[in-house]
Structure 1
Amino acid sequence: MKGYLSHDFLVEVPAAVVWDVYRGLQLGKLLNQLLRDVIGTVEVVYGDGGVGTILKFTFPPGTSGPSYMKEVFTKIDDEQRLKEGEIFEGGLKDVGFEVYRQSLQIIEKNDQSSIIRSTVEYEIDDELHELASLATTKPMEALNEAVGKYLEQNWDSSNNQ
């Protein structure tokens, strides 16, 4: 069984500014700063933020299910402002998902705003179809909302372009 989920979030910041944060490791630093109690913490296991970089997410205490997950960046496309990662250990891989891929794309709406599109693609054995309801964009939605607010506040105060 295969599935696909998507969520769009509008942010009143130019796409280039948002992409600068989302492209590399700054996003993980902001996650640790803004959402430690909600999503957990992220640490770089390997890499410099490019393709092949491995991150370990440790979920907050009290979170049901696996306590961590590891993700590898599989694609970074500066032209499309697209970043993809695949969970290869922990998280939903441990409960039966064969593939769990997340992506973030920054889409220019106009020169002062952009859309952050979060997607999840997954594959799971047909016999485990009831687990498909565990697939969600909710953590990425929380991240996009927190980072979007952070960028709107900080970009507006430091740039009047």
Structure 2
Amino acid sequence: MGVFTYESESTSVIPPARLFNATALDGDKLIAKLAPQAVKSVEILEGDGGAGTIMKISFGESSTYGYVKKRIDAIDKENFVYKYSMIEGDAISETIEKISYETMLVASNNGSIIKRTCHYHTKGDVEIKEEHLKAGKEKASQLLKLVENYLLEHQDAYN
């Protein structure tokens, strides 16, 4: 098994606590509400929403995938750190065992700095293609903008 690590950093105009509440604590359900063409439904299969929880996310018509199972690995509300893994589904190919994500939000003068680390756990010595990473980063960026716009329009949400 190989592990391919990809790191990225972006910014948001939303402060860390509010962004964490919207993206980490309620992100899947919020995306399903804001972009039903991307996420059709979110179902908790095991757990209470905390670490160890397993969810099934069914994608909408605009996605090339049908579903994925996600396991929440850790939630640190005080330090705005959220860790989860995609463990099953057609978004996980026959060459990838799982994809683990760690997102940390850090306060900045203008909102938040979003630091994200992705670990692709591959079966064998499979190489992750740059276009796959670029497509995932672009989709994540679009979803973040969608959430930011929602939070800017709804100042009382997720405070």
Same fold (TM over 0.5): yes
**Residue correspondence of structure 1 range 57-136 to structure 2 within 5 A:** 57-61=57-61, 63-64=63-64, 66-110=65-109, 113-129=111-127, 133-135=131-133, 136=136
Partner residue in 2 for 1:5: 6
Partner of 1:146: 146
Distance 1:62 1:14 in 2: 30
Q: How many pairs were matched up?
A: 154
8 Å CA contact 1:53–1:73 kept in 2: the answer is: yes
Verify the 8 A CA contact 2:37 2:62 in the aligned structure 1. Answer: no
Q: Which structure has the highest helix share of the two?
A: 1
Letter in 1 for 2:142: A
Unmatched 5+ residue regions in structure 1?
A: none
User: Offset of 1:126 from its aligned partner?
Assistant: 4.4
Deviation string, structure 1 residues 18-50 (Cα, Å, up to 9, x no partner): 1222342x2222111112213543222233321
The two structures, once aligned, show a CA RMSD in angstroms of: 2.6
1:131, CA displacement in angstroms? 5.9
TM-score calculated relative to the size of structure 1: 0.78
CA distance in 1, matches of 2:88, 2:154: 35
Cα distance, 1:140 vs. partner? 2.5
1:118: how far off?
Answer: 3.3
Gaps of 5+ in 2: none
Say if 1:152 and 1:10 are closer, same or farther in 2 by CA, change over 3 A. Answer: farther
Q: Deviations over 1:25-76 (max 9, x none)?
A: x222211111221354322223332101112111223643x52110000011
1:100–1:123: 8 Å Cα contact kept in structure 2? Answer: yes
Distance 1:133 1:63, change over 3 A: same
